[in-house]
């Protein structure tokens, strides 16, 4: 499954890719072309960064959901048998004496 996001550099407009899992608020990396440091924030002034962040978020969600489906197991919890033995039989047989 595709887990990388296209990022367009603010300065040189070079397009490169990075892993969706890394692209979270506060992440920064250098453009491989012009080596400017790009800061990734969902509230970035840069539309390219914003779009990359949105894409990364969507991919992370899809990855999480696909992982959830594959690791989910049908675990049928065994039912406990709570058998109560009827222990309320008291031998109270009144033989009327004489």
What residues line the site for Zn ion (CB under 5 A)?
A: 9, 11-12, 14, 31, 33-34
Q: Between 11 and 58, whose beta carbon lies closer to Zn ion?
A: 11
Per the CB < 8 A criterion, the answer to whether 54 and 43 are in contact is no
To Zn ion, the closest distance from the beta carbon of 42 in angstroms equals 21
To Zn ion, the closest distance from the beta carbon of 57 in angstroms equals 23
To Zn ion, the closest distance from the beta carbon of 48 in angstroms equals 11
The angle subtended at Cα 44 by Cα 6 and Cα 29, nearest 5°, is 50
Q: Between 44 and 62, whose beta carbon lies closer to Zn ion?
A: 44
C-alpha span between 32 and 68 (Å, rounded)? 34
C-alpha span between 23 and 11 (Å, rounded)? 19
């Amino acid at each position: 499954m595709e887990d990388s996001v296209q990022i367009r550099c603010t300065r040189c407009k070079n397009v490169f890719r990075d892993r969706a899992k890394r692209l979270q608020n506060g992440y920064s990396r250098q453009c491989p072309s012009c080596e400017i440091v790009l800061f990734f924030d969902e509230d970035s002034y840069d539309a390219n960064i914003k779009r990359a962040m949105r894409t990364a978020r969507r991919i992370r969600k899809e990855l999480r959901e696909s992982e959830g489906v594959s690791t989910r197991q049908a675990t049928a919890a065994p039912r406990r048998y709570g058998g109560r033995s009827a222990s309320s039989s008291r031998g109270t047989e009144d033989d009327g004496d004489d």
